[in-house]
């Protein structure tokens, strides 16, 4: 009976479109309709030079013109008076029409080349993707 109840709950969650293991469920973002936002935050190593950081900024800004599927792009540096950034100084927001466009962007050679410029000075990265809702 317990096994049947567990399967019933899992079935209801799947029918409702809720995966109880969102991190392990690659289908979750792919089945939702709407523009996909790709938020990327960088924390640079203490020894990163201003020139190296500028190369990262310039490289990220160039990606939308090099990779199809990017609908919009914006970026900036932390100016929050709350001081809760945990050392993350740069935020980049890339908008795609859907997860398929994002999935083509990530392995693109231009994106991979950009990551190689970034890696030597990157301390930490935080990436959050979400589907925009109104």
Query: Where do the structural domains in the chain lie, given as residue ranges?
Result: 1-31, 32-131
Cβ 41 vs Cβ 77: under 8 Å? no
Cα dist from 129 to 3, 28, 34, 92, whole Å: 34, 11, 12, 12
Neighbours of 120 (CB within 10 A): 11
More confident residue, 7 or 101: 101
pLDDT recorded at residue 33: 72
CA-closest candidate to residue 19, choices 30, 35, 34: 30
More confident residue, 15 or 50: 50
How much is the pTM?
Answer: 0.75
For the domain 32-131, what is the CATH code? 3.30.70.100
Q: Is the pLDDT of residue 9 over 80?
A: no
Residue whose structure tokens are 């790709």: 38
């Amino acid at each position: 009976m317990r096994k049947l109840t567990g399967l019933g709950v899992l079935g209801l969650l799947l029918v409702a479109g809720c995966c109880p293991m969102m991190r392990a469920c690659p289908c979750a973002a792919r089945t939702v309709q709407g523009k996909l936002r790709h938020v990327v935050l960088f924390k640079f190593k203490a020894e990163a030079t201003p020139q190296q950081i500028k190369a990262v900024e310039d490289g990220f800004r160039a990606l939308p013109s090099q990779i199809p599927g990017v609908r919009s792009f914006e970026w900036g540096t932390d100016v929050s008076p709350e001081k809760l950034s945990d050392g993350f100084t740069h935020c980049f927001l890339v908008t795609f029409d859907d997860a398929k466009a994002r999935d083509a962007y990530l392995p693109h050679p231009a994106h991979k080349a950009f990551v190689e410029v970034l890696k030597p000075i990157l301390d930490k990265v935080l990436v959050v993707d979400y589907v925009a809702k109104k």
